[in-house]
Structure 1
Amino acid sequence: MSPEPGSRLPAGHSAAPETRRVLKVCGATAPDDIATLAAAGADLVGLWHGIPGGHAELPEERLTGLVAAAHATGRLEPVLVTFLSDPDTLTGLARRTGLRWLQLHAYQPPAVVKALRAALPDAVLVKVLHLRGGSCLERPLIGAYERAGTDLFLLDTATEDGRIGSTGRQLPEQDVLSLLPRLTRPFLLAGGISPHNCPDYPRVTEHPGFRGIDVDTAARDGHGRFSAPAVTALARTWRTVTSLEEST
């Protein structure tokens, strides 16, 4: 039986639930965000720390409060989303805040993953792989990331001018498919995901390693606030489990 996102998962193995697809929503900054996402069907909530200039950057005190709020829902698993690369800093942060999932969103080398795996054996380690112009910038390091202890990859877009994260740029399905034979860990799909472009990824969503999606803008309304209808539409369209479906 697959563990729920909020439960502890075996280290160094498949991090996401083995069959159930999950919805990860990034950028929560307030308790109301946590409540909205939990009620609308999200499974994972990305909390930004160590992303200088990021629109959802959190100081440690607020990060700690939102981690506790997410755990209190009994549904949402908080995920640290960070550009930080010092293993000692990340280990201390995880222990102080109670974070169990860590997403390395920049170009941290495999040695960082290895050190985190040794220091945090029960953590779920997510490494972002950046695709640009049909190529994965970390492609030569994928095997090393896996051997170091990566549990889950997240496939996202890097723009030509170097921007990463929340770019709103959709990945072509063929670019994703060309990378998948290199992966032996499951993956989440990011990059301009919406309720409307699921049909653009028929072969990706059928892949046995596909574990769900990661979104930011598509979960918000026109004012930039998280929207329960938008989150529920994402969950239903991409065939993740939503709280509304579970109650019927």
Structure 2
Amino acid sequence: MLVKICGAGSVREVRDVAAAGAGLVGLWHGVPGGRADLPAGRLTELAAAARETGRLESVLVTFASDAAVLADVAARAAVDWVQLHGYQPPATVRALRRLLPKGARVVKVLHVRDGSCVEAPLIGAYERAGTDAFLLDAVAADGRVGSTAQSLDDAVVTGLADRMQRPFLLAGGLDADNRGRFGAAVAHPRFLGIDVDSAARDGDGLLAAARAAAVVHAWRDA
């Protein structure tokens, strides 16, 4: 099971994510107004810090849709994954797939609101365009996406997974206590892992090794 801890903003946080036992660290770039949004130079620095841990792969998390710009930023930072967290169309995935360095993987987020996935009709198109994996996340009632701390329904997750040919990561309000709510999702043959943000943070809003480790152990060890 892959565990991604998202929204690192410092070298210390990257190292804490590694110490917690996670395999992926999310680095925000092109997330306007995001509390962990990084300029390109800082992204490159933290991606290098992830490599230096010897265990973490870096994930560029973005709302941006300019494939050429994203591919350039990804190549300069030498990230391992690019996660498209906005409503980018399959054409963006296709263009990005052509431009990214060999070996870099593309994750497309699928947004679920009130049990319905906006991009569900496009799952096949995203796969044909070159998506390597999907990430299922909840949309807040006010339309906010990303780090909403709202959970998905297990049956909705598996219903979407049944429509895919690619593996998926599960996000949305996951913590050390709610793995039992997602038994069917975890057992699904295309389940790849989880994506966590809020539950890995301390009272100051910073990623903390102990809190991240609690999530990792609760989900992976079970």
Q: Normalised by the shorter chain, which TM-score bucket? A: over 0.9
What letter is aligned with 1:61? G
TM score, norm. by length of structure 2: 0.97
1:193 aligns with 2:209: no
Runs of 4+ more than 2 Å apart? none
Distance 1:73 1:115 in 2: 31
Cα deviation, 1:133-167, whole Å, max 9, x if unaligned, reads 11110011000000000001000011221100000
Q: How does 1:171-182 map to 2 (within 5 A)?
A: 171-182=152-163
1:52: how far off?
A: 0.4
Q: How does 1:41-60 map to 2 (within 5 A)?
A: 41-60=21-40
What letter is aligned with 2:188? H
| 1:117 equivalent among 97, 108, 111 | 97
Q: Is the 8 A contact 2:13 2:208 kept in 1?
A: no
Give the structure, 1 or 2, with the largest relative contact order (CA under 8 Å, sep 6 or more): 1
Q: How does 1:90-169 map to 2 (within 5 A)?
A: 90-120=70-100, 121-169=102-150
1:42: how far off?
A: 1.1
Equivalence for 1:8: none
Distance 1:140 1:154 in 2: 15
Equivalence for 1:220: 201
| 1:81 equivalent among 42, 61, 84 | 61
Cα deviation, 1:103-158, whole Å, max 9, x if unaligned, reads 00000000011111111242100000000111110011000000000001000011
When the two chains are superposed, the root-mean-square deviation of aligned CA atoms in Å is: 1.2
What letter is aligned with 1:146? E
Moved more, 118-127 or 30-39: 118-127
TM score, norm. by length of structure 1: 0.87
Q: Is the 8 A contact 2:85 2:146 kept in 1?
A: yes
| 1:64 equivalent among 20, 44, 52 | 44
Equivalence for 1:246: none
Distance 2:128 2:151 in 1: 29
Q: Identical aligned pairs, as a percentage? A: 55
**Alpha carbons of structure 1 residues 240 and 87: separation in structure 2 relative to 1, 3 Å:** farther
Q: Which runs of 5+ in 1 are unaligned?
A: 1-20, 242-248
Cα deviation, 1:26-63, whole Å, max 9, x if unaligned, reads 11000100111111111100000000000100111111
Distance 2:207 2:64 in 1: 26
Q: Is the 8 A contact 1:22 1:240 kept in 2?
A: no
Q: Which runs of 5+ in 2 are unaligned?
A: none
Q: Is the 8 A contact 2:155 2:184 kept in 1?
A: no
1:100: how far off?
A: 2.4
Distance 2:8 2:151 in 1: 22
Distance 1:92 1:229 in 2: 35
